[in-house]
Amino acid sequence: MLWLLLGLLLIAGSGIPGLFLPRDGQGGERIACGLLLTGVLICTWPLIGIFCGQSLLLDAHWAVPGGRFVLELDAISAAFVAPLLLVVATGACYSLGYWPQHRHPGNGRKLRLFYGLIAGAMLLLLTARNSLLFLLAWETMALSGYFLITTEDEKAEARRAGYIYLIATHSGTLALFGLFALLAPGGGSGIWPAAGSLPAAGSAVFLLALFGFGMKAGLMPLHVWLPGAHAAAPSHASALLSGVMIKTGIYGLVRLTSFFAAIPPWWGWTVLLLGAVSGILGVALALAQHDIKRLLAYHSVENIGIIALGLGLALLGRSYGQPELVLLGLSGCLLHVANHGLFKSLLFLGAGSMIHATGSREIGHFGGLLGRQRWTGLLFLGGAVAISGLPPFNGFVSEWLIYLGAFQTLAVSGSPLPGALFAAPALALIGGLALACFVKVFGLSFLGTARSEAAAHAQEAPPVMLWPMALLLLACAGIGLLPGSLRPLLERAAQAWTGALPLPPLAPQLAPLTVIGGAGWLLVALLLLVGWWLRRRSAAAPRQCGTWGCGYPLSTPRMQYSASSFADGLVRLFRFVLGSERHGGRVAGLFPERAELAGHTPDPVLDRGLTPLFSGLARLLYRLRRGIQNGLVASYLFYIALTVVVLLTLLSR
């Protein structure tokens, strides 16, 4: 465990040496990357021990009220730590090409300092077994996230995103203070209880946890901070925030629910319902976006919904005494946590490569990038297939487990549990919409002709940006092609979550995936063969050849689908919830005049709910203040007299 602590300190402090080096030199960024990679390698050693069945514990004296310095790395923590280490390492290498110090002398040092600090804080948070230590790491992570989001604090968009994030995260932290205050009498000195050692908790404990952890996870309708924050941060920081940081909210829910021996059924039903709402509306909102980073951010809301579906099924399994449902639900939940960390980070890094080449986040400014960014396009395509839940990549495996869990509810009769089967069609709808969304993103960005001058002259990203993306895609493919490789870890994590409740083995449920994995290997081999054949054929083809225009010789980029027109049909299906605004697009007559279509979908919670509410409240309080503080001496004397009367009345009782 001391190795893990040493690695944690190296990661957390990796950005400090750069603060004392010149702003325009490369020494600081290279030292930071080296220290961070060294810390990741050191932390990998104890993590391998966990994969081999060990559990590590560090219990030391801590001279603060309430405490002992207790760290533990078990199978549940390992499921979150493994993607964290990989995403942090690949993001650090990627940043050398994406955000070099000589191009960003004003904020490069700040970005590296808080990138390492947030990674170290998350590592501490995932291994802490003391409430005070957990909250300390939680707050360090939250504040570091704020400084990552506001890296470009000269932009009003970044300042607004950071402001909303700060309000949201501290609202969640206040709920966690209340949660741990309620848990303290049962947990004694703040040391966390063993799994299944507490009786069923009251409703307040679960609701506080759901608000505090759900706010961090971005579970709808608590996702208000997420789209703006992930869009404003640099791409490798967005990958860390979206791929890993939001999962600390899921970790908190998983760990908290492990404490109790009895789980009330309404806990599971609530998480399951929120998961379905978050998944469906998250992907519908993603479809309507034109900004590629906001689109990916809404897909995080969608995937958190999928993770919540798995967790909800597992909670219902514990409530109704169904070990198979517990195993499938929690395994699907934890595996999708790791999978989403990998493919979402890959997609954010791919988006960063496109932004780096074109200088824009608007999908409508891309087009035809596959001819100029071939490797970025192929890597992004792999991430798109993975997030759509298609074989041979990892997203298919975790969604398979959740599907099996949903159908497992039919095995129980005489209870409301079969009603949870609605998770299966909800998951199918989410998968179909996600596939449509990434057909839109890939088609508009990489295919067709360039839609802007910048896209027409885009350059491929340097190798230091491409290799981290390739490593993430390799990890996605590894889990998809070898689905049984993580089975022992998932089984131990499920057992650690339930405590004394015995669980069946996971191997029979994964057996069909062995056949699918074999088919995936054949598919990969076929794709490589076809790619080699096409490359040979293209070597003899003309180098300059326009896209086929259906026989029309004067094609222009304006004849292609736009981001609005492509998704218009699907977005209109959800207009009653999303409130999408649609302008123009209608033509009439045999010789119609020029027409344009534009669509805008505001966030239904932030833009249509919270912002008008707080704006109205601010106006009301402003008028109230003007009425009270009116500059008249007579009014102030009246306030003093009124205060004296009230105090005398209270003191005379």
Quote the CA–CA distance of 417 and 526 in Å, as a whole number. Answer: 43
Instruction: Express each pLDDT in 402-425 by its tens digit.
Output: 999 998 888 877 778 888 889 999
* Dihedral of alpha carbons 114, 307, 384, 40, sign: positive
Q: Is the pLDDT of residue 188 over 70?
A: no
Q: Please tell me the predicted confidence (pLDDT) of residue 290.
A: 87
Instruction: Express each pLDDT in 440-491 by its tens digit.
Output: 999 889 988 888 888 888 889 999 999 999 999 999 999 888 888 888 888 8
Instruction: Express each pLDDT in 66-124 by its tens digit.
Output: 668 889 888 999 999 999 999 999 999 999 999 988 888 888 889 999 999 999 999 99
Q: Please tell me the predicted confidence (pLDDT) of residue 69.
A: 85
Quote the CA–CA distance of 49 and 484 in Å, as a whole number. Answer: 18
Mode of pairing for the β-strands spanning 597-600 and 68-73: unpaired
Decide: 126 and 84 in contact? Cβ < 8 Å.
yes
Contacts of 608 (CB under 8 A, 6+ apart): 579, 602
> In which band, very low, low, confident or very high, does the pLDDT at 541 lie, cut at 50, 70 and 90?
confident
Residue carrying structure tokens 């490589």: 528
Contacts of 110 (CB under 8 A, 6+ apart): 147, 151
Q: Other CB atoms closer than 10 Å to residue 413's CB: what's the count?
A: 7
Quote the CA–CA distance of 152 and 351 in Å, as a whole number. Answer: 18
Quote the CA–CA distance of 549 and 217 in Å, as a whole number. Answer: 45
Q: Is the pLDDT of residue 186 over 70?
A: no
Region 196-219: mean pLDDT is: 88
Instruction: Express each pLDDT in 57-73 by its tens digit.
Output: 888 887 776 668 889 88
SS3 content of the chain, % helix, strand, coil (to 5): 70, 5, 25
Instruction: Express each pLDDT in 251-280 by its tens digit.
Output: 999 999 999 888 899 999 999 999 999 999
Q: Is the pLDDT of residue 55 over 80?
A: no
Task: Give Cα 223 to chain centroid, integer Å.
Answer: 11
Q: Is the pLDDT of residue 577 over 80?
A: no
Instruction: Express each pLDDT in 367-391 by its tens digit.
Output: 888 888 999 999 999 999 999 988 8
